Amino acid sequence: MTVPDGIASIDPQDAAGRSGSWVGLIPVSAFKRLAPLIGRPDTDVGVDLTFELDGNGLVRVSGGARVDATLECHRCLEEVDQEIVADLDIRLTTSEGTMEELMPALDVMVIDAGPIPIATIVEDDLIMSIPARVCPTEVDCPNAPRALMAGTKVDGDEAVRPFAGLRALKNLKREEC
């Protein structure tokens, strides 16, 4: 059994130099920005990262992170259990200049030299992987009030109108504002 490690950290340069990896669990409480977003204060984030030097000698981190979340649908306010999965392929650098050279072709994160928390490496990608709409079919939120559904009405068969869903989302946004 793996014990969650809230202060797990790694020196990315050192780890990449020996093609190291980090696999383990981190309590979500170690993620200051992620924790309030996923509705599960006591869960753990599973992390599986490998470190290597790319062709330019930069630290490349690849792998993934995942966490079970309980998200609230913005339409129906029902809670939906959802696994958040982030796939990572990022370069770490201590230089702002290097980051500006490589972005946006590569995903680059500027870090301080020396050991950094594992949580820091995966937190942004996890936050970006939280779905904006959590009801399974998005526009067809099974719990949507009828008043909202009226805005999605289109002529003919919705199945052959690929943009019907987009329009419904736009309508929804307007009503939320």
Binding site residues, Zn ion, CB under 5 A = 73, 75-76, 135, 141, 143
Other CB atoms within 10 A of residue 157 CB? 8
Least separation in angstroms between CB 160 and Zn ion: 25
- Between 116 and 169, CB nearer to Zn ion: 169
Nearest to 22 by CA among 49, 2, 46: 49
Least separation in angstroms between CB 77 and Zn ion: 8
Least separation in angstroms between CB 168 and Zn ion: 13
Least separation in angstroms between CB 163 and Zn ion: 21
Q: Tell me phi and psi for residue 15, to 5 degrees.
A: -65, -40
- Between 19 and 143, CB nearer to Zn ion: 143
Least separation in angstroms between CB 134 and Zn ion: 7
- Between 25 and 73, CB nearer to Zn ion: 73
Residue at shortest CB range from Zn ion: 73
- Between 114 and 131, CB nearer to Zn ion: 131
- Between 75 and 91, CB nearer to Zn ion: 75
Per DSSP, the three-state class of 137 is coil
